[in-house]
Amino acid sequence: MADTESKPDRYVRPPSAESLGEAPGRGRLTGRRILIVGGGQRVFDAATDPIGNGRAMSILCAREGARVAVADLNRTSAQQTVKHITDEGGEGFAITADVTSEADVQRMIDEAHRAMGGLDGMVLNIGTFGKTGLDNVSPEEWNRIYDVNVRGPMLCCRAGLPKFDNGGAIVFISSIAALKAGSQMAVYDSSKAALGGLMRNIAHLGARRGIRANLVYPGLVDTPNGREAGAGRPNRGKGHVPFGRQATAWEIAYAVLFFLSDESVYVTAQTLAVDSGLSGM
């Protein structure tokens, strides 16, 4: 007899304990000293906001045994991330910094190095959005966004590399918007694409000291940032996502953890899209 039960149109990949931030730490970063630039998070709706990428990365790194310096433009947000870390028994430090200021970036690196007694990991979770198209973005706005999204990471690397211990790791956070023009924000997409070229040059510069540089392309992620972006684009995340749902910030954080850990000790100048295959299918 034929099965007459209705079947869902699409299989939704259920979240794992890691997806939900509920998996225990496994000591993958024990003894490491890691700076997360952009470790706070924006507020879209304080009552319902999920955890953001930077906060999830910071908490996960601490959970895995690292000392973590959390840097953000918003000091209160950085402090809230640190409170999550210390509430779990980890060790974290809050730093306020504007990545468009060279002096701020140098101070941030110095503070992180001093607070943790060294530096051997850095995540560049930096980015701001722009308007769609070309005519809607003034040359001044274009430059401002590039100052944050590209020049900021460059300044962090330039100030950070001399302070790094040999064998460290740097992870750039880009976006699948760098791989396809789906966002329609030319300024955002192109700035995030530029990070690939910067990352490869940092990998080249760091190679003699065993300092690795890699890049993560997050796809559609359910974060306060993602919800803010979706507020002006109702169809965001409602099209064909291969796994039937958006990613969680924890799923992005675990990709970053791989690149920071010794599990990827022979991997540098590489990229990883965490998007359920959206950019490749």
- What tens digit of pLDDT does each residue of 174-191 get? 999 999 887 889 999 999
Region 66-70: what's the mean pLDDT? 98
- Would you say residue 11 has pLDDT above 90? no
Q: pLDDT grade, residue 227 (50/70/90)?
A: confident
Q: pLDDT grade, residue 44 (50/70/90)?
A: confident
Distances (CA, A) of 75 to 40, 70, 127, 141, 271: 8, 9, 17, 25, 30
- What tens digit of pLDDT does each residue of 117-132 get? 999 999 999 999 888 8
Q: Confirm if 48 and 54 have CB atoms less than 8 A apart.
A: no
Among the ranges given (27-41, 61-75, 234-248), the one the predictor scored with the smallest mean pLDDT: 234-248
Indicate the fold that domain 34-274 takes in CATH: Rossmann fold (3.40.50)
Phi, psi (rounded to 5 degrees) for 69: -100, 120
- 7-22 in b/e form (b: 16+ CB < 10 A) is eeeeeeeeeeeebebe
- Would you say residue 203 has pLDDT above 80? yes
